[in-house]
Amino acid sequence: MNAIDALQAKSALPAAPAPAPVTRHRDPEIAAIFARAEHRAGEMDVEYAGAVTPEEAYRLQAAGAARIVDVRTRQEWELVGHVPGVPLVEWRGYREQRPNPLFLEQLATLVHRDEPVLFLCRSGVRSHHAADLAARGGFRHAYNVLEGFEGELDPDRKRGHLGGWRHAGLPWVQS
3-state secondary structure of 101: coil
Enumerate domains of the chain plus CATH numbers: 3-11+24-145 (3.40.250.10)
Rounded CA separation 73/89 (Å): 8
Q: Does residue 10 have a pLDDT over 80?
A: no
Instruction: Check if the beta carbon of residue 133 is closer than 8 Å to that of residue 113.
Output: no
Across 127-133, average pLDDT = 97
At 23 the pLDDT is 54
Instruction: Check if the beta carbon of residue 58 is closer than 8 Å to that of residue 67.
Output: no
Q: Which of 4-13, 65-74, 90-99, 160-169 has the lowest mean pLDDT?
A: 4-13
Rounded CA separation 64/107 (Å): 18
Rounded CA separation 70/145 (Å): 10
* Sheet containing strand 142-145, strands side by side: 50-52, 142-145, 117-120, 67-70
Instruction: Check if the beta carbon of residue 30 is closer than 8 Å to that of residue 122.
Output: no
Rounded CA separation 29/26 (Å): 9
Across 142-154, average pLDDT = 90
Q: Which of 15-19, 133-137, 149-153 has the lowest mean pLDDT?
A: 15-19
Q: What DSSP line would sit under 141-158, residue for residue?
A: TEEEETTTTT-B--TTS-
Confidence of residue 19 (pLDDT cuts 50, 70, 90): very low
Q: Does residue 145 have a pLDDT over 70?
A: yes
Rounded CA separation 82/76 (Å): 8
Rounded CA separation 67/57 (Å): 9
pLDDT tens for 71-128 read 999 999 999 999 999 999 999 988 888 999 999 999 999 999 999 999 999 999 999 9
What H or E segment, with its residue span, contains residue 37?
helix 28-44
